[in-house]
């Protein structure tokens, strides 16, 4: 009986180690590109962007674009719909071919009808066109939002 428990325990420890290794691999791959995504520290973006307003329905996809033309190390991305009864999903595509996300309402640490993230890269945020894919993940009726 003790031998069986030991084998099961060894298997569980090995499985947990593999899961941590897979999670770290994903983080390492993202770190290799230099991008770190964290909840936004504040609402005062040092490089504010013009907000775009739009509407979305269940299952709909809307694309938005942001041009980065000068050297910066932090990009604030704020998708705000305010209605916690609906859920939107955000995926970000960088000009240098990195996919960030998908992100849901809780990605910034709270469920509040917004996804507010800081994307940092100590080597500089890629210049060019950033693509934001907004998807109506769980939407009743039509939801208005800004990004």
What are the helix and strand counts (H, E) for the chain? 1, 9
In eight-state DSSP terms, residue 108 is G
Helix/strand/coil percent split, the chain, to 5 = 25, 40, 35
What is the domain count for the chain? 2
pLDDT digits (tens, 9 = 90+) for 50-79: 689 999 999 999 999 999 999 999 999 999
pLDDT digits (tens, 9 = 90+) for 9-53: 333 333 333 333 333 334 444 555 899 999 998 655 555 556 899
More confident residue, 136 or 21: 136
CA-nearest of 140, 146, 147 to 87 is: 140
Residue 120 vs residues 52, 67, 76: alpha-carbon distances, Å: 22, 16, 9
For residue 16, what pLDDT is reported? 38
For residue 128, what pLDDT is reported? 97
In whole angstroms, give the CA distance from residue 145 to residue 147: 7
For residue 142, what pLDDT is reported? 98
55 and 103 in a single domain? The answer is: yes
CATH (domain of 99): 2.60.120.380
104 and 118 in a single domain? The answer is: yes
Which structural domain, as residue segments, surrounds residue 5? 1-33
For residue 41, what pLDDT is reported? 80
pLDDT digits (tens, 9 = 90+) for 93-129: 999 999 999 999 999 999 999 999 999 999 999 999 9
Q: Check if the beta carbon of residue 45 is closer than 8 Å to that of residue 125.
A: no
21 and 62 in a single domain? The answer is: no
């Amino acid at each position: 009986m003790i031998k069986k428990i030991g084998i099961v325990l060894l298997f569980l420890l090995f499985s947990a180690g593999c899961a941590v290794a897979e999670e770290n691999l994903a983080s390492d791959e993202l770190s290799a590109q230099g991008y770190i995504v964290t909840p936004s520290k504040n609402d005062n973006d040092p490089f504010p962007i013009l907000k775009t307003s739009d509407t979305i329905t269940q299952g709909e996809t809307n694309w938005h674009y942001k041009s980065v033309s000068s050297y910066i190390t932090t990009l604030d991305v704020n998708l705000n719909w305010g209605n916690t009864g609906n859920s939107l999903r955000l995926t970000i595509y960088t000009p240098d071919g990195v996919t960030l996300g998908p992100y849901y309402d809780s990605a910034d640490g709270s469920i509040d009808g917004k996804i507010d993230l800081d994307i940092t890269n100590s080597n500089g945020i890629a210049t060019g066109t950033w693509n934001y894919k907004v998807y109506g993940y769980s939407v009743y009726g039509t939801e208005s939002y800004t990004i």
